[in-house]
Amino acid sequence: MERVITNVRLLDEEGLWNVGIQSGSIAAMTRQPLMGQDYLHGNGRLLTPGLVETHLHLDKALTQNRVSWEQERPKGTAYRRFQEELTAALKRSFTEDDIICRATKVCQMAVAAGTTMMRGQGEVDALLGLDAIRALLKVKERVRDYLDLQIIAFPLGNFLEEPGLLDLVREALALGADGVGGVPEIVPEEVDAYLDPLFRLAAEFGGVVDVHVDQPQDERLFSFPIMVEKARTYGLEGRVTGAHANSLWFQPPERVVPVLETMRETGVHLSCLPYGHIKERIQVPKAMGVHVSLINDNVQDPWQRGGCGDLIQIGMIYARTGAVRSDAGLREAFDMLSVEGAAALGVTDYGTKPGARADLLLFNADTIQDVISQAIGPEAVLKRGRVVAQDGRMCFGTSSR
Ligand SMILES: [Zn+2]
């Protein structure tokens, strides 16, 4: 073996194991000794798969110091509208180099905290054009040795009235973006017409759909049934994600449950922040077999002051705000930071099993429940078998040690 990780504990297995790595993948897992060119001694530590971030706004990340936080929202201006205005003002200061620099840094912060795969959002609009997408595609190349990155082209604006915007999304896909984003609530009466061209473009380019579903409390508006129907129409089963999912809590359960069943059948996933309405948005869908991942969403930008891209912290916030205390509940929290996200990203060679990519974490913790409930970060982060971060700091691909 090129590398052997010795004497580690695994989730759901008894005893100590040795893990052999060849060409960046797990080639062997055994209780017997393995011969290797290089050894990483686990000394009884807990070995898990790397974490998967399914939703982070990379282009806006780490801009909080440019925001005047004392500005008051004018009376009568909706929260979302106010935040959008703050963001638009901020975006005028963005350059390609600036986006590359901040996005790379937030990727490194996430990796140092255990993330090995990520889906990032980059906005496409009249102001930025394709600048953010071009920048993030460069970041994708720059970080590839320590992070697998998917880029979503997120159109900000109503392309039903601004057709040039849809042309930009098409161009973004042609440049190499992995999928399309969106926010159907901006046209609450025309969700079908809004989603249709996005699904069509994703199907045409072999990409994914990953849209925000933040609908206001209006029972007429429920995007998920339309997303299920479009996934079937365009053959995008398993390649559709809805972020935030607020509509799941104010719709009546008798309307939600049948839709969740069809979401499970068609592989329409959810990515959720662990704030508010945890039962309806996260736990009920998860219990019904829908893939649900927990996300950072915004990190130090006008939408979220603070945050550091650390998924384990998000797991702890979920456990605390959701009063999740059982072993099974905390284990499920870890799954929503790892295997559930891998499913949403369409990654199949994932996990601690022979054949999986050797994206692995070593924890100096007794149990995965301790990891989540105490927010214990990984001691080592391995990307395709190579140690890229130790004790919360990058040790590969950066000079910021
Ligand atoms: Zn978002």
Q: Which tens digits make up the pLDDT trace of 72-111?
A: 888 888 777 788 888 888 999 999 999 999 999 999 999 9
- CA 190 to centroid of ligand 1, rounded, Å: 21
The predicted structure's pLDDT at residue 216: 67
Could you tell me where the DSSP H helices lie in 251-397? Answer: 253-266, 278, 284-287, 311-321, 327-335, 339-344, 368-374
> In the predicted model, what is the mean pLDDT of residues 170-179?
98
- CA 179 to centroid of ligand 1, rounded, Å: 14
- CA 391 to centroid of ligand 1, rounded, Å: 29
In the block, which residue shows the tokens 């973004």?
A: 172
Q: What are the pLDDT digits (tens) for 25-75?
A: 999 999 999 999 999 999 999 999 999 999 999 999 999 998 888 888 888
- CA 87 to centroid of ligand 1, rounded, Å: 13
- CA 38 to centroid of ligand 1, rounded, Å: 41
Residue 357 is given by DSSP the state B
Delineate the domains of the chain, giving CATH numbers in brackets.
3-49+351-394 (2.30.40.10), 51-344 (3.20.20.140)
Amino acid at 214: D
- CA 12 to centroid of ligand 1, rounded, Å: 33
Share of the chain above pLDDT 70, in %: 98
The predicted structure's pLDDT at residue 401: 37
- CA 74 to centroid of ligand 1, rounded, Å: 24
User: In the predicted model, is pLDDT for residue 310 greater than 70?
Assistant: yes
The predicted structure's pLDDT at residue 86: 84
What does the alpha-carbon distance between residue 129 and residue 368 come to, in Å, rounded to a whole number? 43
> In the predicted model, what is the mean pLDDT of residues 206-220?
85
- CA 395 to centroid of ligand 1, rounded, Å: 29
User: In the predicted model, is pLDDT for residue 314 greater than 70?
Assistant: yes
> In the predicted model, what is the mean pLDDT of residues 259-281?
96
Cα–Cα–Cα angle for 121, 124, 125, rounded to 5 degrees:
140
Q: What are the pLDDT digits (tens) for 332-389?
A: 999 999 999 999 999 999 999 999 999 999 999 999 999 999 999 999 999 999 999 9
- CA 150 to centroid of ligand 1, rounded, Å: 14
> In the predicted model, what is the mean pLDDT of residues 186-199?
93
Dig out the tokens for 13 from the structure.
């297995």
- CA 16 to centroid of ligand 1, rounded, Å: 40
User: In the predicted model, is pLDDT for residue 399 greater than 60?
Assistant: no
User: In the predicted model, is pLDDT for residue 214 greater than 80?
Assistant: no
- CA 81 to centroid of ligand 1, rounded, Å: 15
Phi, psi of 345 (to 5 degrees): -85, -5
- CA 99 to centroid of ligand 1, rounded, Å: 17
Q: What are the pLDDT digits (tens) for 2-19?
A: 999 999 999 999 999 999
- CA 123 to centroid of ligand 1, rounded, Å: 11
Radius of gyration of the chain (CA): 21
- CA 336 to centroid of ligand 1, rounded, Å: 17
The predicted structure's pLDDT at residue 400: 44
Dig out the tokens for 238 from the structure.
């398993």
- CA 298 to centroid of ligand 1, rounded, Å: 7
- CA 398 to centroid of ligand 1, rounded, Å: 27
- CA 57 to centroid of ligand 1, rounded, Å: 6
Share of the chain above pLDDT 90, in %: 83
Dig out the tokens for 217 from the structure.
């409390």
- CA 58 to centroid of ligand 1, rounded, Å: 10
Beta partners for residue 33, in sequence order? none
- CA 6 to centroid of ligand 1, rounded, Å: 39
- CA 28 to centroid of ligand 1, rounded, Å: 38
- CA 300 to centroid of ligand 1, rounded, Å: 13
Minimal CA–CA distance to 330: which of 317, 342, 341, 343? 317
The predicted structure's pLDDT at residue 308: 96
The residue among 195 and 399 whose pLDDT is bigger is 195
